[in-house]
Structure 1
């Protein structure tokens, strides 16, 4: 038995496929059909039929475009994405891409950044595709920066850096943490967080087994901010690097333990430190 949503959808399709009458215009036909598809989509939401809801919203968007209502089409595609998120992440991303195309065409880059950030969140959720999530965060961050939404841009670049390390692209993670650190250094409101970004960059270089880059980074950071070498973060990075240079696993473990006693290690740092430890242990084993 057809549900109420099915009945409305059938009426919408009939309207969209009609030839129109003597006293109706093409634009009014698409407007009426779009309204009916929106009603069907919302009715499917009530029934918790998320895929059908998303499809109906996309059909609404098509009608809005044919009727020259681009702003309404943007909203319809975004509504489709919201429904698809409940059941079909890839379809949600596709609908968001359609939204972004229209927003860019309209020059609304701030809103485009918001939608690109949504794409990143869809891909990051449940580890659907960390690499695509990282790329979307970078793209969103660049658009936010362009629109001078610097705080939101930095949040996106931080997420991108974290994901880069998670997928093993440590070089990109270093680049992003340096970038965020440099931008944060220029503002009194964010300067306090710079030492955290620089520590993460240093840890990534050690996880790569590249102590030369780590030394270069620490020297560069000290030149950018003369107070950095005296911070706990800088001292911790130096102790870990010294342990790696000396092939001293015990010194490494002691440095990690002492730092964790005062500043609890988060999951991200724990993961990177485990990479460093494995590399250090492998190097020590290779010498024995």
Structure 2
């Protein structure tokens, strides 16, 4: 029989302590505090052995002990440690542990940290391809919490990521509203104003993806009213060229405008995907551009 590992020995000690009865000279709180310390030690030992599921389970048991001691801060931290262990190959358990962390953090009024953890949930949903809609909801919730904590730049990044996902889900009105919201928030700062043209371009592409060039043109007029410099940007000229090609059913003009823009500003995956969709709407029997 193979000898027990250090982690297994510590886990057994932790279980024994957690399940023990309290004596005359000890309290339930002390019992759970000591058990929590042992579970934490066991979790770290499992991490050393690269057994991350077991490490996460031990951190979760530690969190339960901290809760029994009414140690809310320590419980939140233990749940977060559990999530970090589970992220090494166990995404669903990581999401559940992060949700437990967020529950404790919001109870404590620590919304900035709760936003960080909610953003992590969104990243897991997105990276693992588990659920784009839930990823979108997490980014929006994180954005709301960042905004109320005056972390405006981080909030806007979350809202932009949520807008991208709304578009991926073909929820274009919601995407447009988010892009315009982020653009409006960015106009007032010299540090963020440069990014406004990107948000307006994405909103315009969403309007075309809805087969609504009229809205796209009206939007450009509104954007120029907010910032007269927008009309001279490559993003605005690109959008106008796409609208004109879309209205004329000119697939060659559409493709040419895309290629010309891409030669100077490389298209990212999001733009490539939505442009392919728009192109199919212009002329469905034409091959896609690359």
Query: TM-score interval w.r.t. the shorter chain?
Result: over 0.9
Structure-1 residue corresponding to 2:79:
77
Mapped pair 1:97 → 2:99: yes
Structure-2 residue corresponding to 1:178:
180
Distance 1:208 1:146 in 2: 32
**Contact (CA 8 Å) 2:91, 2:128: kept in 1 or not?**
no
Aligned pairs (5 A) from 1:23-172: 23-172=25-174
Which SS does the other structure have where 2:228 is aligned? coil
For the aligned residue pairs, the C-alpha RMSD in angstroms reads 1.4
Stretch of structure 1 that moved more, 147-156 or 123-132: 123-132
Q: 1:46-66 CA deviation, whole Å, 9 max, x = no partner?
A: 111111111111110000010
Structure-2 residue corresponding to 1:211:
213
Alignment match of 2:199 (pick from 191, 197, 200): 197
Stretch of structure 1 that moved more, 22-31 or 261-270: 261-270
- CA positional deviation for 1:22: 1.4
Q: 1:101-159 CA deviation, whole Å, 9 max, x = no partner?
A: 11111111101101101111111113222221111011101100000001111111111
- CA positional deviation for 1:85: 0.7
Alignment match of 1:3 (pick from 5, 26, 47): 5
- CA positional deviation for 1:261: 2.4
Distance 2:123 2:261 in 1: 31
Distance 1:91 1:259 in 2: 43
**Contact (CA 8 Å) 2:42, 2:58: kept in 1 or not?**
yes
- CA positional deviation for 1:190: 0.6
Q: 1:157-209 CA deviation, whole Å, 9 max, x = no partner?
A: 11111222223222222111111111111111111110011001101110121
Mapped pair 1:256 → 2:258: yes
Stretch of structure 1 that moved more, 188-197 or 215-224: 215-224
Which SS does the other structure have where 1:168 is aligned? coil
Normalised by the length of structure 2, the TM-score is 0.95
**Contact (CA 8 Å) 1:247, 1:283: kept in 2 or not?**
no
Distance 2:48 2:258 in 1: 52
- CA positional deviation for 1:4: 1.8
Structure 1 stretches of at least 4 aligned residues deviating more than 4 Å after TM superposition? none
Distance 1:212 1:10 in 2: 69
Which SS does the other structure have where 1:181 is aligned? helix
Stretch of structure 1 that moved more, 138-147 or 126-135: 126-135
Stretch of structure 1 that moved more, 122-131 or 86-95: 122-131
- CA positional deviation for 1:283: 9.1
